[in-house]
Amino acid sequence: VLSMCGLAKEHTQARDQEKNPWHVTISIRRTGRGFEHCKGALVSEYYVLTAAHCFTIVDRAEEIQVTLGENQRFEVAAVRSHPLYQIGKLKDRGIPEFYDYDVALVKLSKKVIPSVSARPICLPCTAGTTRALRKPHPQTTCRNHEELLLTIGNVPSFFVTDCKHEDQQAKGLSRRTVKIRNSEKKIGCEADAKKASQYVNVTDVSQVVTERFLCTGGADPEVDPNTCKGEEQHLLLGHPRNHNRGCLCGLVGVISWGVVDVCRNRKLPVCETGRNRHEGSPAYARDFHINLFKILPWLKEELRDEGLDFL
Ligand X SMILES: CO[C@H]1CCN(Cc2c(C)cc(C)c3[nH]ccc23)[C@H](CO)C1
| Residue 128 touching ligand X (CB under 6 A) | no
What residues between 169 and 198 interact with ligand X by CB under 6 A? 196-198
To ligand X, the closest distance from the beta carbon of 264 in angstroms equals 7
Angle 185-201-284 (CA atoms, 0-180°, nearest 5)? 30
What residues between 85 and 114 interact with ligand X by CB under 6 A? 97
Handedness of CA 241, 243, 248, 250 (dihedral sign): positive
Comparing every residue's Cβ against ligand X, the nearest one is: 258
To ligand X, the closest distance from the beta carbon of 246 in angstroms equals 28
What residues between 197 and 236 interact with ligand X by CB under 6 A? 197-199, 227-229, 231-232
Dihedral (Cα; 279, 266, 41, 96), 10-degree rounding: 90
DSSP for residue 65:
E
| Residue 255 touching ligand X (CB under 6 A) | yes
Please name which of 178, 175, 55, 171 lies closest in space to residue 106, comparing C-alpha atoms: 55
To ligand X, the closest distance from the beta carbon of 203 in angstroms equals 15
Number of residues that bind ligand X (CB under 6 A): 16
Ranges of beta strands (E only) in the chain are: 7-8, 23-30, 34-42, 47-50, 64-68, 72-81, 104-108, 154-164, 171-181, 213-217, 234-237, 247-248, 250-258, 286-291
| Residue 261 touching ligand X (CB under 6 A) | yes
162/287 with CB nearer ligand X: 287
| Residue 258 touching ligand X (CB under 6 A) | yes
Binding interface with ligand X (CB under 6 A) = 97, 196-199, 227-229, 231-232, 255, 257-258, 260-261, 287
